[in-house]
Amino acid sequence: MTGIKHIFFDLDHTLWDFNTNVEITLREMFVKYNLGKHISSPEVFIAEYRFQNERYWNLYIDGKITKKHLRTVRYRKTLEVFGIKDKAMAEQMGTDYIVLSPLQSACFPNCHATLDYLKEKYSLHIITNGFEEVQTVKVKSSGIDHYFDNLITSEKAGALKPHRKIFDYTMKLLNATADECIMIGDEPTKDIQGAHNAGIRAIYFNPAGEVLDGVHSISNLNQLMEIL
Ligand SMILES: [Mg+2]
């Protein structure tokens, strides 16, 4: 692709392997809280947690519960399913998760090799809807911080993807035009439509191999070395 100077990456589910990192964290917590006494395996615990987490996330998204409540209730309900009624433990687990999960380091296959390659040719930046303090920790613990000139969070830009304001904010910061930039991300609306809203080209990353009509789609980060 011609004329590209800046590459924008999404972080969660694009570079930083969110699902794997959550699973590692929950396995650590299974051991730490001695859950084997009550629950047959970490897999059973993780499956129940995912169910409860999704249920309460949806309530949070709908504005029905607060973030603080979400952090604890997903553990309290998970524990209850296995006959553990311990509010203090659920609260401690909620706090632990927030601290431990960003410290995990799993990235998608070929992430480092691809960034090594791209860094030689382009200026790289992250654009993420996550919280500043959490995303900074993730980037450091996974050892990819040195590839990026900027970590732009929605907090910093004052807007969330897919709003064009977060892309405009980044371009202004870089003194760049839309056709000098390209966005890579896993969410069709937030990353791809968001970039398009700001007139920026985009590449869709889907490790399961799903493609988006009319959008360059990749299933492995190393494909970027052929395209860019
Ligand atoms: Mg993402």
Residue pLDDT, tens place only, 90-145:
999 999 999 999 999 999 999 999 999 999 999 999 999 988 889 999 999 999 99
The residue type at 115: L
What's the whole-number mean pLDDT along residues 190-208? 98
Q: Which pLDDT value is given to residue 34? A: 97
Is residue 162's pLDDT more than 90? yes
| Ligand 1: centre distance to CA 34 (Å) | 32
Structural domains of the chain ordered from first start? 6-16+107-227 (3.40.50.1000), 19-103 (1.10.150.240)
Q: What is the DSSP letter of 90?
A: H
β-strands 201-205, 216-218 pairing: parallel
Q: How confident is the model at residue 67 (pLDDT cuts 50, 70, 90)?
A: confident
Is 23 within 8 Å of 46 (Cβ atoms)?
A: yes
pTM of the model: 0.91
Rounded-to-integer distance, Cα 184 and Cα 123, Å = 14
| Ligand 1: centre distance to CA 19 (Å) | 11
| Ligand 1: centre distance to CA 88 (Å) | 32
Q: Which residues contact 159 (CB under 8 A, 6 or more apart)?
A: 165, 166, 169
| Ligand 1: centre distance to CA 191 (Å) | 8
What's the whole-number mean pLDDT along residues 17-34? 97
Q: Which pLDDT value is given to residue 144? A: 98
| Ligand 1: centre distance to CA 37 (Å) | 35
Q: Which pLDDT value is given to residue 53? A: 95
| Ligand 1: centre distance to CA 67 (Å) | 19
Residue 97, φ and ψ in degrees, nearest 5:
-60, -45
| Ligand 1: centre distance to CA 80 (Å) | 31
